[in-house]
Amino acid sequence: MIKAGIIGSTGYAGAELVRLLTGHEQAEIVWYGSRSYVGKDYASVYPNMFEIVDAKCLDDNMEELADAVDVIFTATPQGLCASLVNEDILSKCKIVDLSADFRLKDVKIYEQWYKIEHKSPQFIDEAVYGLCEINREDVKKARLVANPGCYTTCSILTAYPLVKEGLIDPSTLIVDAKSGTSGAGRGAKIDNLFCEVNENMKAYGVATHRHTPEIEEQLGYACGQKIMINFTPHLVPMNRGILATEYATVKEGVTKEMIRKAYEKYYNDELFVRVLPEGMVPQTRFVEGSNYVDVNFVLDNRTNRVIMMGAMDNLVKGAAGQAVQNMNLLFGLEESMGLKQFPMFP
């Protein structure tokens, strides 16, 4: 059995990790870390785990934790993992970091967008960007995995085949994305109160959202050049889900058949990316609670643009599910182990 520890187990992503790992055949959680609830029963924080999890919340002592586990998940705000990780810890266990601390390869870009100093830049080059469908073989050899963000996972996977195959002009890419409120975390914030969110929809982080450089960097690797995109996220009144609608100009001569073949080339053998049939649009309700990403497209010959669409659960494939997928790769397990839950509906 893989012994796992979670720092930040009482946030939404951390709680989703607890749910998934509790049902994992080859993993057990031995450390429920939570700075806010040290000493409290985990099930008192999340009563859905009553008589399922019989453990108390511990602190975030990564040094002690590294001696007790095979893998550490850090489901924490930006900056914490980077401030705690060191060579001694990495020599003892694997780390899957759900924050943005090791996603960007340029420390200056990280510090510019996140407005904090990076505390361990010496590990940035080593860290593997844990988008399994793209970096699977590198993840298998890693000590430190940078688990991608929710918006970025959906945005990248939706456009990746067309960027990689050179079917679109990546400099024309526009990403319009919507997220349920769980993506903002469990912390008390006025903008997330029921009366603020209910019966409302708004754009936020317009031209400034911190996932922008992450999307640009990864799609830039795909096309072999630096790119800049417009990325606009929106908050919608639902608990879970990401829907990305993306627009780009297609290259001369590109047909609908070429686009579909590109999606099939990269995703036909991927369990968790479902390329929908023509005429079916991705919907968040049909991926909820699962690790699936549904994608599809429409070619608009009138404007010479392609509209790409992707939907997924922000807490599963966008956070905890992807982290478990990375753990499975790190330890040579079946990649889908612990992640075979069907989408919930209604």
Domain with CATH 3.30.360.10 in the chain: 151-313
The CATH fold of domain 151-313:
Dihydrodipicolinate Reductase; domain 2 (3.30.360)
Query: What is the average per-residue pLDDT within 81-85?
Result: 97
Query: What is the average per-residue pLDDT within 122-146?
Result: 98
The confidence score (pLDDT) of residue 191 equals: 84
The DSSP output letter for 174 is E
Query: What is the average per-residue pLDDT within 163-183?
Result: 96
Rounded Cα–Cα distance for residues 108 and 122 (Å): 13
Q: How many CB atoms lie within 10 A of CB 204?
A: 13
Task: From the candidates 150, 154, 195, 223, give the one annotated as an active-site residue.
Answer: 150
The model's confidence at residue 123, banded by pLDDT at 50, 70 and 90, is very high
Q: 164: burial class by Cβ within 10 Å (0-12, 13-18, 19+)?
A: middle
Q: How many CB atoms lie within 10 A of CB 41?
A: 17
The confidence score (pLDDT) of residue 183 equals: 87
Domain with CATH 3.40.50.720 in the chain: 2-126
Q: Which two tokens stand for residue 96?
A: 């899957």
Percent of the chain with pLDDT over 90: 96
277: preceding bond cis by omega (within 30 degrees): no
- Partners of 31 in the β-ladder: 5
The confidence score (pLDDT) of residue 192 equals: 83
Per-residue pLDDT tens over the stretch 177-187: 999 999 888 88
The confidence score (pLDDT) of residue 188 equals: 75
Query: What is the average per-residue pLDDT within 29-47?
Result: 97
Between 3.40.50.720, 3.30.70.100, 2.40.128.20, 3.40.50.300, what CATH number should domain 2-126 receive?
A: 3.40.50.720
Q: What is the mean pLDDT of the chain?
A: 97
The confidence score (pLDDT) of residue 312 equals: 98
Query: What is the average per-residue pLDDT within 226-237?
Result: 97
The confidence score (pLDDT) of residue 189 equals: 83
Q: Which two tokens stand for residue 171?
A: 């400099």
Per-residue pLDDT tens over the stretch 40-80: 999 999 999 999 999 999 999 999 999 999 999 999 999 99
| pTM as predicted | 0.96
Instruction: Note if 150 is an active site residue.
Output: yes
Angle between helices 132-140 and 321-330 (to 10 degrees): 30
Q: Which helix (H) or strand (E) covers residue 95, if one does?
A: strand 94-97
